[in-house]
Amino acid sequence: MTLFEKIISRELQADILKEERDWIAFRDIHPQAPTHILIVPKKPIARLEQAKEADQQLLGALLLAAVQIAREENLEHGFRIVINNGTEGGETIPHLHVHLLGGRQLVWPPG
């Protein structure tokens, strides 16, 4: 069971901001920006490359949730959405999730 599955099942505590039927959003415990929120599907998909065509609606819901939460967090000057895939892509937990980052000027390139 992944760390995120334990948060979803409430075995582990998290600073949960919002929850819907298919996803949960909470603050990252190691923030990389003043606002760093994770939006995690409740369906366990290890990484983006393993998502199926049937997951299309769920993937869209994650992105729309990120936009909604960005508004609620007053990130009107901009934000970044990141999805890591694989170890070289920065993935540390094998459960698909969206990072919502903002609250400061973000640089490019990110890596």
Q: Which of 81, 83, 22, 100 is nearest to 47 (CA)?
A: 83
End-to-end CA distance of the chain: 29
Alpha carbon distance 49, 107 (integer Å) = 26
Spot the catalytic one: 36, 95, 97, 99.
97
Q: Cα separation of 44 and 5, whole Å?
A: 8
Give dist(CA 31, CA 41) in Å, integer: 20
30 is catalytic: no
Residue that is written with structure tokens 């075995």 in the block: 11
Catalytic residues: 97
